Amino acid sequence: MAGLRLDGIAHRTLAPIDLALDAGERVFVSGPSGSGKSLLLRAIADLDPHRGEVWLGAEPRSRMTPPVWRRRVGLLSAESFWWAETVGAHLPASQTSGPDSGYVNDWLAKLGFAPDVLDWSVTRLSTGERQRLALVRRLAQRPEALLLDEATANLDPVNRDRVETLVETYRHEQEAAVLWVSHDPEQRRRLGGRAFVIGDGRLEPET
């Protein structure tokens, strides 16, 4: 895997940001509501207008097509969008019945699901179940870097811990850089590592 580097990333509410994450490093970002945390992640994922460049290792985003970039640098939004009838229909066939299905089943088990959850109708899922399953859907694309927007905000402590454990396992095993927006100071202290705060349009180290 490769590191993730932001060179002068800016949008209408954020001053230019320079930030580098090593391969396998997790960095937290926090800040008040409306400060631009989600907009920063969307800019990195090339979903919103912005200025600056993002690098995955030695490869600039500007030299990749958007679908390729968004597969390699995967954004998990705070609210997931589901377009098909069943959970499994949102995953590649190779991930549900092919050679890679073992990984998906392992991730599901780590999040408290049996394999038959892939046959469930999306309409029966609770908000927390959708949030956890959206993480599996994102990991199934094998991103080299992860952008997490409040990945545990709607979860009880048991399922919060399950998500944290799976993200940490994936980060270590795949050496994926993880940029994690979290409003939970306890979570940031518990997991440790570098942490930054967005305030007045600027990214500053959390103290």
What is the domain partition of the chain in residue ranges? 4-205
Per-residue pLDDT, 97: 59
Tens-place pLDDT, residues 151-184 = 999 899 999 999 999 999 999 999 999 999 999 9
For residues 119-131, give the mean pLDDT. 95
Task: List, in sequence order, the alpha helices (H) in the chain.
Answer: 37-44, 66-72, 93-96, 101-110, 127-139, 157-174, 185-191
Per-residue pLDDT, 43: 95
CA distance 69 to 66: 5
Mean predicted lDDT score pLDDT of the chain? 93
CB-based contacts of 43, cutoff 8 Å, min separation 6 = 9, 10, 11, 14, 50, 52
- Work out the number of other CB atoms within 10 angstroms of the CB of residue 116: 10
pLDDT at 101 over 70: no
Higher-confidence position of 95 and 112:
112
pLDDT at 30 over 60: yes
* Closest-CA residue to 104 (of 67, 147, 154, 141): 141
pLDDT at 142 over 80: yes
CA distance 71 to 34: 27
The architecture of the domain spanning 4-205 is 3-Layer(aba) Sandwich (3.40)
Note the pTM of the prediction, 2 decimals.
0.93
Per-residue pLDDT, 12: 84
List phi, psi (to 5°) of 142. 50, 55
Per-residue pLDDT, 102: 82
* Closest-CA residue to 124 (of 83, 70, 87, 176): 87
